[in-house]
Chain A
Amino acid sequence: MASGGVHAGRRRRHRMRNYEMGSYDVAVIGAGHAGCEAALAAARLGKRTLVLSLHLEAVALMACNPAIGGTGKGQLVREIDALGGEMGLAIDRTFIQSRMLNRSKGPAARSPRAQADKARYHETMKRALERQANLDLKQGEAVDLLVEGGRVKGLVLRTGAIYRADAVILATGTFLRGRVFIGESSYEGGPSGFPAATRLALALEGLGLALRRFKTGTPARVLAQSLRFERMEEQKGDSRVLPFSYVNAYAGGLGRENRASCWLTWTTARTHEIILGNLGRSALYGGLIKGVGPRYCPSVEDKVKRFPDRERHPVFIEPEGLSTDEAYIQGMSTSMPEDVQAAFYRSIPGLEDAVFSRPGYSIEYDSIDPLTLGPSLEHKGIEGLFCAGQLNGTSGYEEAAAQGLMAGINAALKLSGRPPFLLGRSEAYIGVLIDDLVTKGADEPYRMMTARAEYRLLLRHDNADFRLTEKAWGLGLASGERHEGFLRSKSGIEGELRRLEATSVSPAEAAAFLAGRGSAPLSERTALAEILKRPEIDYEGMAEIDGARPELPPHSRIQAENLIKYDGYIKKQLAQAERVKGLEGRGIPDGLDYGALEGLRLEARQKLGAVRPVSVGQASRVPGVTPADIAVLLVHIEKRRRKGASRDG
Chain B
Amino acid sequence: MIIRDGLRTVIAGKPNVGKSSLMNALLRGPRAIVAELPGTTRDLIEETADIRGIALSLADTAGLHATDDPVEAMGIGKSREALGSCGLVLLVFDLSSPIDDDDIEAVRSLGGRPAIALLNKADLPQRLDEAALRGLLPGVAAVRASMKTGEGLEALEDAIENLVCQGRAAPGESPAVTNARHADLLERAAAELGESLSAAERREAPDLVEIGLRQAWALLGEITGEGAGGDLIDEIFSRFCVGK
Contact = CB atoms under 8 A, between A and B. Distances in A.
**A complexed with B:** yes
A642 interface: yes
A103 to B, nearest CB: 11
Nearest to A580: B230
Contacts of B215: 572, 576
Interface stretch (B9-17, B43-51, B200-208): B200-208
Given A573-B211, A583-B230, A106 B205 contact: yes
A634 B236 contact: yes
A310 interface: no
Contacts of B137: none
Interface residues of B, number: 26
A194 interface: no
A628 B228 CA distance: 8
B243 A581 contact: no
Contact of B214 (A107, A576, A582): A576
A196 B53 CA distance: 57
Interface in B177-236: 202-208, 211-212, 214-215, 218, 225-233, 236
B112 to A, nearest CB: 34
Nearest to B236: A635
A569 B208 contact: yes
Given A576-B214, A638-B237, A643-B243, A457 B208 contact: yes
Nearest to B228: A627
A582 B207 contact: no
B230 A579 contact: yes
Contacts of A566: 208
Contacts of B236: 631, 634-635
Contacts of B212: 572
B211 A569 contact: yes
Contacts of A638: 233, 237, 242-243
Contacts of B205: 105-109
A108 B207 contact: yes
A620 interface: yes
B217 to A, nearest CB: 11
Main secondary structure of the interface of A (DSSP, over half): helix
B184 to A, nearest CB: 15
A107 B242 contact: no
A105 B233 contact: no
Contacts of A581: 230
Query: Which one of B206, B207, B212, B227 has the greatest number of beta carbons of chain A within 10 Å?
Result: B207
Interface string B93-128: 000000000000000000000000000000000000
Contact of B211 (A457, A580, A586, A631): A457
A627 B227 contact: yes
A583 B228 contact: yes
Q: Chain A, interface size: which category?
A: 20 to 34
A634 B232 contact: yes
Contacts of A627: 225-228
A620 B228 CA distance: 8
B190 to A, nearest CB: 16
B235 to A, nearest CB: 10
B93 to A, nearest CB: 48
Interface in A417-467: 450, 454, 456-457
B230 A535 contact: no
A320 B81 CA distance: 75
Contacts of B230: 579-583
A105 B227 contact: no
Interface string A627-646: 11011001100110011000
Contacts of B202: 535
A332 B228 CA distance: 44
A519 to B, nearest CB: 12
A106 B206 contact: yes
A535 B212 CA distance: 17
Given A457-B208, A638-B242, A582 B231 contact: yes
A106 B208 CA distance: 8
Contacts of A572: 211-212, 215
B215 to A, nearest CB: 6
A109 B207 contact: yes
Contacts of A628: 225
A576 B218 contact: yes
A634 B242 CA distance: 12
Contacts of A107: 205, 207-208
Nearest to A639: B243
B102 to A, nearest CB: 54
A439 to B, nearest CB: 16
A140 B212 CA distance: 54
B6 to A, nearest CB: 26
A106 B243 contact: no
A639 B237 CA distance: 10
A488 B65 CA distance: 81
Contacts of A535: 202-204
- Shortest 8 CB-CB contacts between residues of A and residues of B: A106-B205, A582-B230, A639-B243, A108-B207, A627-B228, A634-B233, A106-B207, A630-B228
Interface of B: 202-208, 211-212, 214-215, 218, 225-233, 236-237, 242-244
19 contacts: A105-B207, A107-B205, A107-B207, A108-B205, A108-B207, A566-B208, A569-B211, A572-B212, A573-B211, A576-B211, A579-B218, A582-B231, A627-B225, A627-B228, A630-B228, A630-B232, A638-B237, A638-B243, A642-B244
Given A105-B205, A583-B230, 15 more contacts: A106-B205, A107-B207, A108-B207, A109-B206, A456-B207, A572-B211, A576-B218, A579-B218, A582-B229, A627-B228, A628-B225, A631-B228, A634-B233, A638-B243, A639-B243
